[in-house]
């Protein structure tokens, strides 16, 4: 299990101020299958990286991901990216902005990650992770981490544990599908298959990202960088 | 930290079948305040108990909490309660029924709880927790639990840890409020204050619950049960 805090971008329930980081929870476990169970997710609905990708693709963000200081939804990726660094936009915790759909749960999970990533080592938290000094100059970002491993063989033989998890995952994947759905995944499955695919056929690069990379290539006068498209 | 699995009521992302339990995550930590930080939440948006309360209050459930086998929303509490015990209704994981709002995150967190609550002791999981034998007769419910405690003083003095958490919680509560909001809470705060209030002035009981209790009282010929209202 691995947790980390991060620079402020997520608002607490009933707030519009970015206070918490995207504060991911990661949990991995071996199985009796080729791929492990691997969950790695921000405790916010989405995170900055996804907005950056949408910005490059010139696509809008989903309504419900981000709010402005008045609590109104923001969907333009560039406004969101600029807003996040100026306290003018906040990502919403998993569950959104109302208790009715569980905002307080995403917010609470994020707070747990903040506690585990800072309180045990008296490290930096919340606004102290803004990356700015009080005078506005750039400061070193002092994020914290919490790692935990369970010694499986203190409980049962490793092979039995792996089979137990495999059985759980296989039963989940065999659940009745919702109309229109063709497949039920377990955590890490999509990413595992995507990794196999890109190893075989390369990493797809968006046109705008290619421009950025070419620009950097020219700036640095790198000639040996080989970009195919 | 405490985790438990439970009888099937929650559907995986892209499924409409109740497979996972409400699989709560609980995390408590002492602070330098009167009340601890106390998070205790199902990894589904809501849970059976809340639907039971709405049923007694004759109020509809929120759209987005529960789906039928076709994936359509259910809001009538009695239909939901009957449906849950007949595979005709499923609670949705935190994040709802689409990946766009993070359904896969609630589903993944729920799977982590299922793994921790069963795989380490080769215990029962998913449909084996239905409480029914294959022949339809009632079976003993074999839910599992996972408890973990961190020895704080292995890391730092307890008082310093408590102050660190208090500082995090106070900064969260001081976040800028969204328009129309009067207060920002941290996990366990509402419940702590509610506990103080009911200790002082009693537990409020809904009229339909009072009827149920009176009915049980008469059935059991309990005379000493004193119900004021």
| pLDDT at residue B214, rounded to an integer | 87
| pLDDT at residue A229, rounded to an integer | 43
- Min CA distance, A200 vs chain B (Å)? 27
Sheet with strand A145-147: strands edge to edge: A37-41, A25-29, A2-4, A145-147
A101 contact partners, CB below 8 Å, separation of at least 6: A95, B45, B62, B64, B96
How far from the centroid of its chain's Cα atoms is residue B118's Cα?
A: 19
Percent of chain A residues topping a pLDDT of 90: 82
- Distance (Å, whole) CA B183 – CA B168: 16
Partners of A187 on chain B (C-beta within 8 Å) are 104, 107-108, 111
Can you tell me the mean pLDDT for A69-74?
96
In a domain, B121, yes or no: yes
State both tokens at B67: 């789906």
In a domain, A28, yes or no: yes
Q: Strand pairing partners for B72?
A: none
Judged by CB atoms closer than 8 Å, whether chains meet at A165 and B115 is answered as yes
- Min CA distance, B15 vs chain A (Å)? 4
| Residue ranges of chain B with per-residue pLDDT less than 50 | 229
Judged by CB atoms closer than 8 Å, whether chains meet at B120 and A150 is answered as yes
State both tokens at B113: 């709880």
| Own/partner pairs, B221-228, CB within 8 angstroms, 24+ separation | B228/B202
- Min CA distance, B198 vs chain A (Å)? 22
Judged by CB atoms closer than 8 Å, whether chains meet at B106 and A112 is answered as no
Judged by CB atoms closer than 8 Å, whether chains meet at B19 and A62 is answered as no
Q: What is the CATH number of the domain that holds A73?
A: 3.30.1370.60
* Burial of residue B30 (number of CB atoms within 10 Å: 0-12, 13-18, 19+): middle
Residue among B60, B163, B176 with most chain A CBs within 10 A, to mutate:
B176
For residue B82, what is the enclosing H or E element?
A: helix B77-84
Cα B218-B215-B132 angle, rounded to 5 deg? 115
Q: What is the DSSP letter of B109?
A: H
State both tokens at A159: 């092979």
| Interchain CB contacts (distance < 8 Å): A and B | 210
Give the other-Cβ count within 10 Å of A214's Cβ. Answer: 12
- Min CA distance, A120 vs chain B (Å)? 6
In a domain, B186, yes or no: no
Nearest to B120 among A155, A171, A187 (CB): A155
Q: Are B94 and A94 in contact (CB under 8 A)?
A: yes
Q: Regarding predicted confidence, which is higher, A190 or B216? A: A190
| pLDDT at residue A169, rounded to an integer | 98
Partners of B106 on chain A (C-beta within 8 Å) are 94, 102
Among B29, B10, B6, B28, smallest CA distance to B18 is for: B10
| pLDDT at residue B229, rounded to an integer | 43
In a domain, B112, yes or no: yes
Among A100, A71, A95, A93, smallest CA distance to A24 is for: A93
| Own/partner pairs, B153-156, CB within 8 angstroms, 24+ separation | B155/A120, B155/A121, B156/A120, B156/A121, B156/A122
- Distance (Å, whole) CA A53 – CA A206: 9
Judged by CB atoms closer than 8 Å, whether chains meet at B187 and A104 is answered as yes
Judged by CB atoms closer than 8 Å, whether chains meet at A14 and B181 is answered as yes
In a domain, A176, yes or no: no
| pLDDT at residue B227, rounded to an integer | 53
| pLDDT at residue B70, rounded to an integer | 96
Q: What is the SS3 assignment for B89?
A: coil
Can you tell me the mean pLDDT for A59-82?
96
Can you tell me the mean pLDDT for A23-47?
97
In a domain, A181, yes or no: no
Judged by CB atoms closer than 8 Å, whether chains meet at B122 and A164 is answered as yes
Partners of B15 on chain A (C-beta within 8 Å) are 175-178, 181, 184
In a domain, A155, yes or no: no
Residue among B12, B104, B152 with most chain A CBs within 10 A, to mutate:
B12
Nearest to B111 among A16, A109, A172 (CB): A172
Judged by phi (left if over 0) then psi (alpha if -120 to 50, else beta), residue B93 lies in beta
- Distance (Å, whole) CA B28 – CA A57: 42
Half-sphere exposure of A22 (CA within 13 A, CB side): 16
Judged by CB atoms closer than 8 Å, whether chains meet at B122 and A156 is answered as yes
State both tokens at A86: 């100026």
Residue A226 pLDDT > 60: no
Task: Identify the domain containing residue B113 by its residue range.
Answer: 1-149
- Min CA distance, A108 vs chain B (Å)? 6
CA distances from B101 to A185, B21, B23, B66, B83 (A): 17, 21, 20, 16, 25
Partners of A12 on chain B (C-beta within 8 Å) are 172, 175, 184
Domains contained in chain B, number: 1
In a domain, B71, yes or no: yes
Q: What is the SS3 assignment for A15?
A: strand
Judged by CB atoms closer than 8 Å, whether chains meet at A104 and B181 is answered as no
- Min CA distance, A222 vs chain B (Å)? 39
State both tokens at B88: 């005709």
Nearest to B172 among A19, A42, A168 (CB): A19
- Distance (Å, whole) CA B60 – CA B68: 15
């Amino acid at each position: 299990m691995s947790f980390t805090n991060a620079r402020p971008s997520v608002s607490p329930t009933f707030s519009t101020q970015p206070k918490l980081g995207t504060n991911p929870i990661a949990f991995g476990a071996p199985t009796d299958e080729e791929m492990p169970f691997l969950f790695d997710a921000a405790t916010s609905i989405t995170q900055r990286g996804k907005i950056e990708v949408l910005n490059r693709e010139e696509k809008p963000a989903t309504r419900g991901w981000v709010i402005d200081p008045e609590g109104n939804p923001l969907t333009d990726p560039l406004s969101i990216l600029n807003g996040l660094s100026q306290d003018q936009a906040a990502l919403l915790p998993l569950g959104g902005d109302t208790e009715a759909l569980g905002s307080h749960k995403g917010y609470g999970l994020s707070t747990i990650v903040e506690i585990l990533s800072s309180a045990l080592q008296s490290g930096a938290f919340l606004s102290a992770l803004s990356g700015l000094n009080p005078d506005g100059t750039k400061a070193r970002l002092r994020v914290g981490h919490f790692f935990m491993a369970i010694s499986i063989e203190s409980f049962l033989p490793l092979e039995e544990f792996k089979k137990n998890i495999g059985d759980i995952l296989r039963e989940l994947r065999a659940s009745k599908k919702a109309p229109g759905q063709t497949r039920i995944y377990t955590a890490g499955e999509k990413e595992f298959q995507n990794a196999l695919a890109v190893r075989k056929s390369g990493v797809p690069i968006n046109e705008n990202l290619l421009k950025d990379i070419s620009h950097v290539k020219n700036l640095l006068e790198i000639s040996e960088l080989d970009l195919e498209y």
